[in-house]
Amino acid sequence: MIKKIIIGVGVIILVGTGWVYFSKGGEKKIKISENSGVKDKTEEIATISAEVQSNAEDNLTAGVTKEATVEGEVMESVGKGSTTIVENKNAQSEFEKEEEKEAEPDFKINDRLASWGYEKASGRKIDTIILHSTYNATGGDEFDLDKIIGIYKSYGVAPHYIVARDAKVYRTVEDKNIAYHAGESKMPDGRTGVNNFSIGIEIINSKTSGPTSAQYNSLKKLLSYIKGNHSIKYTLGHSDIAPGRKDDPWKFEWGKVK
């Protein structure tokens, strides 16, 4: 009799436990389905934000950035211009108008972007400007911009900017990209691979004829433009980072740009 009672109680306990177990399981199931609902919503939001992001990226490539504008203009001048590029150009010129209010009104950068002499990069930290001198030693006008650019092309090198003999400023490589201008060199702080963190500027002048006062004037404006966009710690000559190998900028008076 006692045995039967014990068995009976045992059965009740087992059944009871089973009920509790299953009812908990039920709750869990409900919770899971709620969670998966949340998950669906989260995914939906993620998808939307991804779309917003990609739209933002599209806007960026549509010419909100200076870089995109530059490329648009160059591409157009090469004859590949499409409707999209024209739209980009419009977006860019609006942007540039805003910029000009802050920049020196008589300072203009002319784009002649090179297809050689650099590697694409993004997010590099620029803290150095290297000044160079350059001239055409192949005959004819030693200050001929086209010939000088042709020489760069033949060597597969390029600066970011050129201050031409007529004091016009040309951009050949965008700041964000790594231009091949410094070669084997070493900073006063011991760093090598100077191209990676620097901007290179070539001034068109010879070993016997230093920069003109108009060139110094343009260079000063270019330096302040660059310093407005990057935290520049060093402005050095090529000869400072490659002594013995390089002696440019030639006949350069540092006092005129400092």
CB atoms near residue 181 (< 10 Å): 27
Q: Per 3-state DSSP, what percentage of the chain is helix, strand, and coil (rounded to 5)?
A: 50, 15, 35
Choose between 144 and 248: whose C-beta lies nearer to Zn ion.
248
Nearer to Zn ion, 69 or 133 (CB): 133
Report the nearest approach of Zn ion to the CB of residue 120 (Å): 22
Nearest approach in angstroms of CB 132 to Zn ion is 3
Hey, which bits of the chain come out as E strands? Answer: 109-111, 118-119, 128-134, 161-163, 169-171, 178-179, 198-204, 234-237
The span from the CA of 256 to the CA of 202, in Å, is 16
For residues 65 and 128, which CB has a smaller minimum distance to Zn ion in the complex?
128
Q: Which residues are catalytic?
A: 202
Q: How far is the CB of 183 from Zn ion (least distance, A)?
A: 8
Nearer to Zn ion, 171 or 238 (CB): 238
Positions touching Zn ion (CB under 5 A) are 132, 238, 248
- Concatenated DSSP letters of 148-170: HHHHHHHHT---SEEE-TTS-EE
Structure tokens at 24: 């908990």
Least distance (Å) between residue 207 CB and Zn ion: 12
For Cα atoms 156, 161, 162, give the angle at the middle one, nearest 5 degrees. Answer: 90
Structure tokens at 204: 């068109």
Secondary structure (3-state) at 107: coil
Report which of 154, 191, 194 is spatially closest to residue 178, judged by C-alpha positions: 194
CB of 85 to Zn ion, least distance (A): 34
Nearer to Zn ion, 152 or 216 (CB): 152
